[in-house]
Amino acid sequence: MNLPIRGGYQLLLCFIFGAIGVLGLAPFRLSFFSTLALMGFFLFTIYSPSPKRSALHGCAWGLGYFIATTHWTYLSLVDHGGMPAWLGALAVFLFSGYLALFPALASYLSRKLPLPVAIQLIMAAPAIWTLSEWLRGTLFTGFPWAAVGYSQAPTGLLSPWFPLAGVYGVGYLLAVFAACVVWIAANLWGKNRKGIATSALVTAASCTIVILISQFLSTIEWTRPFGKPLHVSLVQGAIAQDLKWDPKRFNDTLARYLQLTHQAQGRLVVLPETAFPVFLEELPKEYLEALTKTPKARGADLLIGAARKNTEARGYFNSAILISENNLPHYNKQHLVPFGEFIPMKWAIGWIYRSMLNMPLDDFSAGSKTQPAMMVADQRLMPNICYEDVFGEEIAAVSANATILVNLSNLAWFDGSIALEQHGQISQARTLETGKPMIRATNSGMTVAIDQHGHYQGRLPERIPAILESEVQGRAGLTPYLHLKNLPILAWCLLMLGLGYIRTYAKRLPGKTSHTI
């Protein structure tokens, strides 16, 4: 099939197909658009005249998708980081361009395989797409934000697959469906009656099987209640990012968190990431005593997010500290944000931070990858900080013994953007994968309690100082995803490619001819 649109209009259409993918994610949650975006991706991947042209189409698609889904990084760089507007816009474009390399690679490899169109679409392309998403989430510390599978959290038709296959497995199923629709459309366009019947039959059978399995999976409770429900108080200070580091506002910040903490009623009180604009060690001793006095008086625990000096070496940690305990059990953030919490290639780009940016605490030390859960009442809490919960496999690795997951974030860097809703949806996917509830305490928005099915039990309005009081039931047990993580879906994708390779090799044997597009 020849593409009906010529020249530069193809690239524009690819860009548009990619950009509409943002509508499939929170806050829009119109999951159909994620599928539609993938349809456009596979159409311009498989039916491009050459692998190089296909890669160009994939890059244009990726630019549209990632500019639309991650444009909010501009706010942190320009509005709060002090970067010039032109440089901030350029940084967003270059970052999106880097992320676009992964769909470009997927397009190139999918088109390069000399296979019949049907096998290329149904077997190879979805597998390569999924592997490219996994690679994007892994390479150079990874950035798995906006994986297409998130569009199904928490109530999509494919949401029951999260505990089994994770977000990449859900994304793979979406990709297969999108590829099947493109296959049908191509046969209709080419008026291939036999192809129409075959593609429609295969698509209908595949969808029926997936739907039936989804219905079965939805009846399974992978985890079980553990202990008594825990009354939690999630404190949202709503300290504007441009005021947080103002020395004149320091006392106001302390007073606000002191007031909110004393008003909290929970057995566990949680303050957000880096709640105070100083190191924990620099907080006045009398203030810490006042902060913990009321919780201690009623037998409650207080978990706060704070920067903490590394006593064993130079540097500092982004930590969650249970400060109501005498020995201060803590969790140190181990997956740091590149360019935000540590500076890659400091020798080359450190001058930008020194001369153009105003980003306090931009070079944290990473915590250990194996850190114990914290005991509160009869529950085992496993903290994660900021965007650590974007990494499903890493959350799974530390969640086996936990009964409640706790996220501490400061999303004031992105106030007013779709980043907050997107992060909430990502946390919903983590609860589905692990079968464990998650509570989120944030500085300015997306302070929520999420049950094991990904549903919000409670949520605070954004940018309002308040406390979310919620009863959270801990859960014990392991989902299949907690057991095997991403291994099954990665193995499946490699199997699909292996079968495609075997077919390609067989076609090249003497006396055989290969069928290329």
21: number of Cβ within 10 Å: 26
Residue with tokens 């250990």: 368
Q: Which two tokens stand for residue 68?
A: 């639309």
- Catalytic residue flag (residue 273): yes
Residue pointed to by tokens 């989902």: 479
Stretch (H or E) spanning 98: helix 85-112
- Write down the catalytic residue from 333, 436, 485, 493: 333
Selecting among 14, 59, 180, 386, the annotated active-site residue is 386
Using only C-alpha atoms, what is the Rg of the chain? 25
The catalytically annotated residue of 133, 273, 388, 462 is 273
Query: Which distant-in-sequence residues (6+ apart) come within 8 Å of 159 by Cβ?
Result: 152, 153, 170, 218, 432, 454
Residue 79 carries which DSSP code? Answer: I
| Phi, psi (degrees; rounded to nearest 5) at 476 | -120, 160
Helix (H) or strand (E) segment spanning residue 305: strand 301-309
- 390-394 long-range CB contacts below 8 Å, 24 or more apart? 390/137, 390/144, 390/145, 390/423, 390/426, 391/137, 391/142, 391/144, 391/335, 392/144, 392/166, 392/167, 392/168, 392/429, 392/430, 392/433, 392/481, 392/485, 392/486, 393/166, 393/485, 393/486, 394/335
Residue with tokens 């302070």, as numbered in its chain: 447
Pair type for strands 404-409 and 438-442:
parallel
Distance CA 454, CA 167 (A): 13
Cα(142)–Cα(394) distance, rounded to whole angstroms?
12
283's tokens: 């907080």
Q: How far apart are CA 84 and CA 103, in angstroms?
A: 30
The Cα–Cα gap between 118 and 180 comes to 9
> Look-up: residue for tokens 């553990």?
226
Q: How many residues does the chain have?
A: 517
Q: What gap in Å lies between CA 512 and CA 517, rounded to an integer?
A: 16
Please give the positions annotated as active site.
273, 333, 386
